[in-house]
Amino acid sequence: MSEEMLRKERKENVYNLICDKQYTPLKFKELCYLMQVPSEDKEELHSILDELIDEGLISRTTKGKYQKMGEGVYRGTFISNKKGFGFVRVEGITEDFFIPEKSTGGAYHGDIVLIQAADSPVGKRTEASVVKVVERGLKRIVGVYDQSKNFGFVIPDNQKIDGDIFIAKKNSMGAMTGHKVVVDILSYGDKVKSAEGKVVEILGHINDPETDVLSVVRELDIPVEFPEEVMTYVKSLPDYVSSREMAGRTDLRHLTTVTIDGEDAKDLDDAITLYEQDGLYKLGVHIADVTNYVKENSPLDKEALKRGTSCYLADRVIPMLPHKLSNGICSLNEGQDRLALSCLMDIDRNGHIVNHKICETVINVDRRMSYTSVSAIIEDGDEEETAKYKELVPMFQMMLQVSDLLRENRMERGSIDFDFDESKIVIDADGRVSYIGAYERRRSNGIIEDFMLAANETIAEDYFWQELPFEYRVHEAPDTEKVKQLAMLISKFGFYFKASKENIHPKEFQKLLDKIKGEDCESLISRMTLRTMRQARYSTECTGHFGLACKYYCHFTSPIRRYPDLQIHRIIKDNIHGRLDSRRIEHYEAILGKVSDDNSKKERRAEEAEREVEKLKKVEYMSGHIGEIFEGVISGVTNRGMYVELPNTIEGFVNVSNMYDDYYCFSQDEYAMIGEETGKKYAIGDRIRVKVKETDKLTRTIDFIISHKGDVEVGKGKRKQNHRK
């Protein structure tokens, strides 16, 4: 048994002893005597007890006795609010606990805390009080510096942080008012005294185009530069595949092979082969064999795990792997021999995968295709593109046929296909936003998606039935209360779907999305349906994927940009080479739980960064359209006003106070606002004309006001001609 497994077993034994009904609280020396712990192991026992305390599983009394935590004690993450109160999010509990201002216990945003839940009235959010700050979550923040004569303050970018950070003059690094700075927190303050910090980096002025993206990257602690030891390791890697590396692999270089990606993509990690034989479609999904170069526990592997995923931020990518790999030896570039891990699938005329093989291969890509070119051929019948790639056209047409079969089967079982507009952001040479609009999704994108999904499902099912340690992609059924709220909302638009507490089937959601296709409310309801869903995550347990309506799913197809794919490639290759003995299985069982959790967290971090940068770029873009008028759709209603989404995917807020000379209140259905004097009703899904009032980069918000008569066209939008009397 490995040291890691042995320690885990000892920890469980200690915890089980303290939880035993016959156990009475004991001091450390008494525990050592009871458990007959040798002198050389006492330090380890002390460490295990401290871990159990930090995890909120046990506590130590004022007299130094160890005991099990009382009922209603939970460990979670504190989320503060500028008004002084906060919430605590506990893993495995759907609703956050409410923490009143008087009960925050000095907790700061992002802290890991222990809370004691209180009895709350039925129908109300459960209240709790912080009993201990276990670990400080935020040790560094990013914000805007505000200079005074002998000191300064930093206004945090993170709107959840309660209060500014005091900066002594000696700790300012010479920052000036308006500078975006990175600050290390020296003290967390209290109700009387502000938190105090030290400026460790000046990113630039708030109005510099590069500063906003860099601020998000620093705020979320996303590594950008690769450490020297990683780059030294990378230098030792080859630029080309050698004959020695190809030995023993299945040689597929004779097959016509293509990659299909966006025009700007440089990390090409998947390639496709497709042909007919013996009445079957022979689909090959070939994935770059990244693990051939990223060896376990190497400096490169540790850095990839630390990053978890590549991060795509407007006009740049923060890669998981250095460019020598992601754009070089691991990228399936046209005309280059490349090592791959392939999933070769036999598909019958009904679109069912009847056989498959997973193997190490050598491939050579014939053509590097773009989504635009393939769609021009199969959708538009473009003569020029068809002539240019005439030898590949039959393959593309066959791809469309097979993709349709796979997709039809997926839809039949109830897979949910969200098809709402994503934002396309174009940055000019000066780093400023020149265009924002809806990203056009072509059929060729869907083809590659269908093939990747097929490979991911096939691999996951194969390894599930082999009963080997593995990392799956799982997605639980949505919370029944959220489903109920969605059902109420869509009924206002005249749509209904079946859902009971006992049986919420994904097929009902897909039926709903089919019904709203082409309707004005399609994008709105699609987004609301998505918000009903739980967040997918990585797990060692194969519990199925609700959104895809499948029992088995994993991420296999992007090891250049996702660590989970890299992790399972390593397991698959060990299995292929017969290395999965009991020792190796034990090793994977010991690490995969932690790796899966970490991968999920890093994925959420990257998604948050992408979301925040998108917000910033939208604010920047709309700041150039102040006073202009757009037509949009009401996408949400709150007690402060309503959200309006424009056709270019930008969303802004209309505050009640900006609705001129009428008073507004909620209607009984909670999805509309009614003017008490005029009777004018604004409901979710209504089309409305709004004017851009102002933007705020600090809060990352866009404010609209309702457009009234007397407005005339100015440029792309419209500007008001006469003031209201």
Distance, in Å, from the CA atom of 260 to the CA atom of 446, rounded to the nearest integer, reads 11
pLDDT at site 713: 46
The answer on 438 and 422 residing in a single domain is: yes
Residue 239, judged by CB atoms within 10 A of its CB (0-12, 13-18, 19+), counts as exposed
Per-residue pLDDT tens digits for 31-86: 998 899 998 889 999 999 988 887 777 888 878 888 887 777 888 899 988 788 89
Strands 701-706 and 651-655: parallel
The answer on 571 and 512 residing in a single domain is: no
Last residue of a domain, one of 135, 158, 187: 135
Q: What's the average model confidence in pLDDT over 142-167?
A: 90
The answer on 555 and 529 residing in a single domain is: no
**Using an 8 Å Cβ cutoff, are 250 and 339 in contact?**
no
Whether residue 575 has pLDDT greater than 60: yes
Q: Which domain, by its residues, includes 634?
A: 626-720
**Using an 8 Å Cβ cutoff, are 195 and 165 in contact?**
yes
CATH number for position 90: 2.40.50.140
Domain contains 217: no
User: Which residues touch 669 (CB under 8 Å, ≥6 apart)?
Assistant: 488, 492
Distance, in Å, from the CA atom of 294 to the CA atom of 11, rounded to the nearest integer, reads 33
Residue 706, amino acid: I
Confidence of residue 9 (pLDDT cuts 50, 70, 90): confident
Q: What percent of the chain has pLDDT over 90?
A: 58
Whether residue 720 has pLDDT greater than 80: no
**Using an 8 Å Cβ cutoff, are 530 and 473 in contact?**
no
What is the enclosing helix (H) or strand (E) of 282?
strand 280-288
CATH number for position 40: 1.10.10
Mean pLDDT lowest among 39-43, 257-261, 483-487, 566-570 = 483-487
Domain contains 277: yes
Distance, in Å, from the CA atom of 686 to the CA atom of 264, rounded to the nearest integer, reads 37
The answer on 454 and 384 residing in a single domain is: yes
Residue 103, amino acid: S
Give me the chain's average pLDDT, please: 88
Per-residue pLDDT tens digits for 187-209: 988 767 888 999 999 999 988 88
Domain contains 618: no
Domain contains 223: no
Per-residue pLDDT tens digits for 589-641: 999 999 999 999 999 999 999 999 999 999 999 999 999 999 998 888 887 88
The answer on 303 and 397 residing in a single domain is: yes
Whether residue 365 has pLDDT greater than 90: yes
**pTM of the entire predicted model:** 0.85
Domain count for the chain, please give it: 6
The answer on 161 and 201 residing in a single domain is: yes
Residue 475, judged by CB atoms within 10 A of its CB (0-12, 13-18, 19+), counts as buried
pLDDT at site 721: 37
The answer on 645 and 577 residing in a single domain is: no
Mean pLDDT lowest among 186-195, 399-408, 440-449 = 186-195
**Using an 8 Å Cβ cutoff, are 308 and 601 in contact?**
yes
Per-residue pLDDT tens digits for 449-477: 999 999 999 999 999 999 999 999 999 99
Domain contains 148: yes
Last residue of a domain, one of 135, 151, 173: 135
Strands 66-68 and 58-60: antiparallel
The answer on 239 and 198 residing in a single domain is: no
Half-sphere exposure of 230 (CA within 13 A, CB side): 21
Domain contains 435: yes
Per-residue pLDDT tens digits for 481-530: 888 888 888 887 888 877 665 678 888 888 888 888 877 777 778 888 88
**Using an 8 Å Cβ cutoff, are 319 and 226 in contact?**
no
The answer on 485 and 463 residing in a single domain is: no
Per-residue pLDDT tens digits for 264-292: 888 899 999 999 999 999 999 999 999 99
In sequence order, the β-bridge partners of residue 152 are 147, 167
CATH number for position 158: 2.40.50.700
Q: What's the average model confidence in pLDDT over 639-667?
A: 78
The answer on 303 and 413 residing in a single domain is: yes
The answer on 512 and 461 residing in a single domain is: no
Length of the chain: 725
Distance, in Å, from the CA atom of 353 to the CA atom of 207, rounded to the nearest integer, reads 54
Percentages helix, strand, coil for the chain, rounded to the nearest 5? 35, 30, 40
Domain contains 116: yes
The answer on 438 and 339 residing in a single domain is: yes
Domain contains 539: no
Strands 66-68 and 179-187: unpaired
Distance, in Å, from the CA atom of 222 to the CA atom of 308, rounded to the nearest integer, reads 10
